[in-house]
Structure 1
Amino acid sequence: MARNRAVPAIVREAQRVVFDELGRSGSRVVVLAHNLLAHRGSFAAVAARLAPRARVVNVDLRGHGDSRGTTRAFSTADLAADLAAVLDTLAARDAIVVGTSLGAAAAVELTRQRPELVGALVLIAANPHAASARDRLTFGALATILRTLGPGPVLTSILAGLHAPDAAADVRGATTAHLQAMDRRDMARAVNAWVSRPALLPELAGLRLPARVVVGGADSPALAAAGRVLADALGAPLRTIAAAGHTVQAERPAEAAAIVEELLATTGP
């Protein structure tokens, strides 16, 4: 494992993973892990709000943003190992790990793999269930389209899945630009990582750590129900952010940051 000193990044198993590090050196670490087909820029406003109180590590998951150029298929376990490598490089422990959807799956896997690295969890728009047969067919078709044709033919439906209908134009525009810049193979591999994710509930069995579960009020009703399942499994509060879609951190950064600030105030040193 190596770290590129010119640009904040680590290289693990030939995969470059890029991150931003900002905020108060020596203070509690907060790790931000975005959702499928998003990028670390979606957490930029959250990171800026948290920086006065924490050491914030905002990661581009492999296959996304500047962590582009995958050479093989990957899984949520790989994403978790990447996050662990970033934290090891920074000599960080007891982090508050904030994950949205795919990032939430990686956060739970990280907690299972390396419990000493994780002191608290914030799971946003998380799905506790493994993909259904219908999901495997739907996302398998999506991966094929993305790999062969790129996002153009399915851009409208992807945006509808990522954002509330009334999401700000600049937020939707940033997502559109990111999708259009992604490598087709990276997109397909990321979708396949999502569809092959394990169920979270068995991973959560026995976990006893501070947590918050967050859902967007304008996200799918199924994810609202899933949020309750997760909250019950963790014994954690469920927070609904009104009018937010799936990418809560980009649409309602102040509310998302406030939930993390609550954990900063009530946990750790």
Structure 2
Amino acid sequence: MASTLPPSTTGFATVSTQPDVRLFYSVTPPALPLDPARPVIVLSSSLAASTELWDAFTAAFAPTHTIVRYDARFHGRSPLSSTSDYDYKTGHTIDDLADDVIVVLDTLGIGAQHAPAFVGLSIGGGVGVSLAARYPDRFGSFVIVGTRSHAAPGDAARMAERAAFYKTHGARAQAEQSVVRWFGTTWPSASPANAAKAKHVADIVEQTPLEGFVASAAALNRMDLREQAAAIGKRQRQSPSATEGNRNNKTNVLFVVGADDGALVVAESKQLAAAAGSPLEVVAECGHIVNVQQPARFHELVRAWIARE
């Protein structure tokens, strides 16, 4: 799909040298050092996706904001490890992925004084919950989109089936399976524009190597955000702003989910929001990839949330 993005600064943040883990990032527009008049938004993608998933969002917000995007470990343009015996099967945890965001911010000189907003989708939403629980002073607000609260029996087997399908049928077939799970079949077939968007997402997912999928699937297989959501809620209840007369200011975390997303995603998004003492927005006529399927509504929600007093 054609893009009208302004130029970006790109580079790599080093997470570790032994083993070698590096993350690709982009800053749009190329504003280093940061322009203090431009609020910062950090974007985190779903499993098997890359920075390109946020092209439309970036084009919409870049005139007024500094947009920081990054590719998760071994996704997109974040390279596979040069450490020959890197254990992708063991992979990493959600907290590891959250720590990676802090590395990217530190690399770019984005400190607590910049109070960036964080917007995370799916596994990126899980990363956002971890950040909100463990690094609350580094961010001004969070938008957590379409995340599960915890792994359940059978999840690991399903992820293993998807990895086996990838090995047997290739990256494109796996990407097309993902698009069907995320969008269903009705929405892409409703118009040529929808079909083009769904194809674009499949093109993005196809770029993810099997190692990247397996390593992050391991994080999802052992994910449990319930205690972190409860910690967010406890902190917010103890905040001086958490009064009955000032309820709108007691949380800096907004949860968002598509009404037509998977039943577990919808239910567990509600559970996380309740535990965190946060509002939940359910986006009608939308599946998992809210920023692509309902961009106007999603952009409206994000603008309102990060601009509130």
Common topology (TM > 0.5) = yes
Using the TM superposition, name which of 142-151 and 90-99 deviates more: 142-151
| Contact persistence 1:217–1:241 (CA under 8 A) | yes
Aligned match of 2:106: 88
Question: CA separation in 2, counterparts of 1:156 and 1:45?
Answer: 21
SS of the equivalent of 1:240 reads strand
After superposition, the Cα gap between the structure-2 partners of 1:40 and 1:152, relative to the gap in structure 1 and judged at 3 Å, is closer
- Return the letter of the residue paired with 1:30: I
| Contact persistence 1:143–1:191 (CA under 8 A) | no
Aligned match of 1:196: 222
Aligned match of 1:20: 26
Deviation at 1:123, TM superposition (A): 0.7
Q: Percent identity?
A: 24
SS of the equivalent of 1:206 reads helix
**Structure 1 moving runs of 4+ over 6 Å:** none
SS of the equivalent of 1:193 reads helix
Aligned match of 2:204: 178
| Contact persistence 1:146–1:188 (CA under 8 A) | no
User: Residues 215-236 of structure 1, C-alpha deviation per residue, up to 9 Å, x if partnerless?
Assistant: 1122122222222212212222
Match of residue 11, structure 1, among 6, 14, 18: 14
After superposition, the Cα gap between the structure-2 partners of 1:149 and 1:193, relative to the gap in structure 1 and judged at 3 Å, is farther
Question: CA separation in 2, counterparts of 1:181 and 1:90?
Answer: 26
| Contact persistence 2:258–2:285 (CA under 8 A) | yes
SS of the equivalent of 1:38 reads coil
TM-score normalised by length of structure 1: 0.87
The higher radius of gyration belongs to 2
- Return the letter of the residue paired with 1:266: R
Write out aligned runs for 1:213-252 (5 A). Answer: 213-252=255-294
SS of the equivalent of 1:142 reads helix
Q: Does 1:100 align with 2:121?
A: yes
Aligned match of 1:117: 138
Figure out how many residues of one structure are paired with residues of the other and give that number. Answer: 261
Aligned match of 2:243: none
Match of residue 65, structure 1, among 76, 97, 107: 76
Match of residue 161, structure 1, among 181, 184, 190: 181
Unaligned runs of 5+ in 1: none
SS of the equivalent of 2:231 reads coil
TM-score normalised by length of structure 2: 0.77
| Contact persistence 1:35–1:100 (CA under 8 A) | yes
Question: CA separation in 2, counterparts of 1:68 and 1:190?
Answer: 14
Cα RMSD after superposing both structures? 2.2
Aligned match of 2:3: none
SS of the equivalent of 1:45 reads helix
Deviation at 1:262, TM superposition (A): 0.9
| Contact persistence 2:71–2:77 (CA under 8 A) | yes
Structure scoring higher RCO (CA < 8 A, sep ≥ 6) equals 1
